[in-house]
Chains A and B, each alone.
Chain A
């Protein structure tokens, strides 16, 4: 379970502090699929960063009793001068996994072929995204963070990654941030609406989307 209790986050800026999260409560149970929607700048990405744990909340508390992934297909942690293989090794090492065991899966899934031994710097954005997605799938977590990533490759790769995520990992908990309402409808059982640093809980996804649309109008 993941529980956020009255979480706030303030960032200093040149024009004084900006309060991005204003007392957020959230609960995600084992195996639950939860959507997070809201307009740009509402605070969704900050929320995901705090849940991931790389940053601490200003006040409030986050407790986690399940393991949480880094944002799926996030390639920011890659070192561009290193090869795909070296980056895979690095990720496996920090999560205490044997790189040799994961290699064949990543090799096959990412369809990178010879490029796995080339520095990431020369990859196309599609290749980079395929590698990042494959590496995300190589480590096992209870809860997956999905922050607006689904259009990573061509249609064939997207179908394959959807299958990997929502069929093979159907039992995992997921926190899905998206502007694609259809995507939220299809995959989530509950949703939160983020608006101006506050999070509103909806047990009915349709209702969350309707409220969101009304606010956008």
Chain B
């Protein structure tokens, strides 16, 4: 005799997928209300916040007269670079130490550890992507320091890979942070090292040869170069390797998912 599925749970894969979608939806709502509340512009802060930061950085870089040294649209350079940083930085920050304070949620059977991560990561992807798109539109309307994307599909592809990479990185750091508090301690200095190294602030092509080979090991550099190639590829020679980037995405996902299963569900930490 088939047993009816308990409240909130499903039997078949498809039913369980629906449950997961519902749980993630509920977590998204909870997260948005907790973080932004219903006061003033409410959840619009989700993208207003990253937009403000990117806007200030872009304004700084543009007014510093950097555009005098090359014909690269400096606003496009700044927006692509800083939006990428926001993606991996904000997402990792939301996933580090995400489970332990929320462990009580796991006492509700439909809620799985992965749902907590996914809800947080999706929220960041949604916020940063909206901020990225809106900034592009705003600058296209009011500034001559940006040109429309030359290949918008490549921009979308690169952005998607960047988001995927950030998710793998965040879940890995999240799982590691359940294992040791050192992650939370070393993360801020790590960010400062990777701000410049992530490729947000340079084009690989302008680097001397030895440096080029070195930064080619950093996966974010590939995502940045690809993103910019889609945006203003005719202005510079891009250096990136999609399969190298995808390799990192896959590797980090396998590592992060495996480790979080051990540290959270089996509580080996």
Contacts and interface: CB of A to CB of B under 8 A. Distances in A.
Interface of A: 11-12, 49, 52-56, 58, 64-68, 70-71, 74, 76-77, 79, 81-82, 86, 89-91, 93-97, 139-142
A55 B105 contact: no
A96 B22 contact: yes
Nearest to B261: A56
Interface of B: 3, 6-9, 19, 22-23, 25-27, 29-30, 33-34, 37, 103-111, 265-269
Contacts of B22: 93-94, 96
Contact of A58 (B29, B106, B266): B266
A79 to B, nearest CB: 5
Contact of A70 (B27, B108, B266, B267): B108
B90 to A, nearest CB: 20
Contact of B109 (A53, A56, A65, A97): A53
Contacts of A12: 268-269
Nearest to A97: B7
Given A55-B267, A93-B29, A76 B107 contact: yes
A77 B105 contact: yes
A46 B82 CA distance: 46
A81 B3 CA distance: 38
A84 B269 CA distance: 33
A16 B38 CA distance: 47
B9 A90 contact: no
Given A49-B107, A71-B107, A76-B107, A86 B33 contact: yes
B34 A79 contact: yes
Contacts of B108: 54, 70, 77, 91, 94-95
Given A56-B266, A96-B110, A142-B6, 11 more contacts: A11-B267, A54-B103, A54-B107, A55-B266, A56-B265, A67-B7, A70-B108, A76-B107, A77-B105, A94-B26, A140-B7
A65 B33 contact: no
B58 to A, nearest CB: 33
A70 B7 contact: no
Contact of B30 (A65, A70, A82): A82
Given A12-B269, A79-B30, A79-B34, A52 B6 contact: no
B265 A55 contact: yes
Nearest to A54: B106
Contacts of B267: 11, 55
B104 A77 contact: yes
Contacts of A49: 107
